[in-house]
Structure 1
Amino acid sequence: MGYIITISILLLSSITNVCLGQNLPKKDLDEILKKIEHHSIIGLGEAEHFYTGYYRAKIDILKHLIQNESIDVIALEASINVTALLNKYINGDAMLDVPNTLIFLNEPYSLQKAGLYNCVEIVELIDWLKDYNTHHNKKIKLVGIDFQNYSIPLENLKNQATYRQREKI
């Protein structure tokens, strides 16, 4: 039994014979589901950032895996702190301006305003996850696996610091 499988979106096109600019057909999603059934960790990557087709393909795969109860945690190569806020949001524990929050997933990189995560496809995925969690007992969790975000912890520190301490931050 394998534990980890990585599905590179670049290789996905050779597995499924589909153009990545379109949605994946159900038969291709079912084939992916079959290939991962004995794995507990599935990695989705892409050949390049900012290509809408890759985002759509990954989101189609994620939704299919969630709907077939194959996954319950989505780990993003993104800020642990911001992803924790998004996780609270999709589980109904926080109100957020999702598009503005997504900007900080890329911090401290110059990509903050480039749209790596703060794009329409990811906003739609976050909203879909919130809706899914609202209507299902088995909740999906979002976790971040990047330690480089500094603004959220810094703001928390400032909010809890005394006036004198804030001057030093």
Structure 2
Amino acid sequence: MSEKLSIIELGNPILRQKAEFVKDIQDKTIQKLIDDLLVTVKETNGVGIAAPQVAVGYRIFIVASRPNFRYPNAPLMEPTAMINPRILNYSDDIVKGWEGCLSIPGIRGLVPRYREIEVEYTDRYGQLQKQELTDFVARIFQHEYDHFEGLVFLDRVETTFDIVTEQEYQNLIINQL
């Protein structure tokens, strides 16, 4: 039975550790973790979640873009588990965009990211996948990938003036749309 997992927050040392590669994707505990991450990202209104955010140090994340109150303009896609992902190539074009994180509640930051990336990952069935991701979905991938390296979006903002509270983000950004 799948369940919503508890999300650890900034300050927990696990968020700053490097994640390990998954060796046996078909292991029952790995498959259950994927199912639990899918439930957790949905029930928390996230658009992505990485295993380190639930205190599990494996290189697994879910990309689950969809419009919700946190990201009203997010494109809709099927939630996808990505295991041992890597970035193969990226565009020269870097754009700033607003990001939040389930592990850093109440804060948003304007973060520079590559606009287009080519990625490779193993799906939950053990099949190697290659994709080109752009814009918001590319941003989600890069954000979640950072969790494997012990980084959070606040490490990427260029100035503290690019950090706002969630309430100010809602007031200033969402209400202007």
Larger C-alpha radius of gyration, 1 or 2?
A: 1
Common fold by TM > 0.5: no
TM bucket (normalised to shorter chain) is 0.3 to 0.5
By percentage of residues, which structure has more helix?
1
TM-score of the aligned structures, taking structure 2 as reference length: 0.32
TM-score of the aligned structures, taking structure 1 as reference length: 0.33
By percentage of residues, which structure has more strand?
2
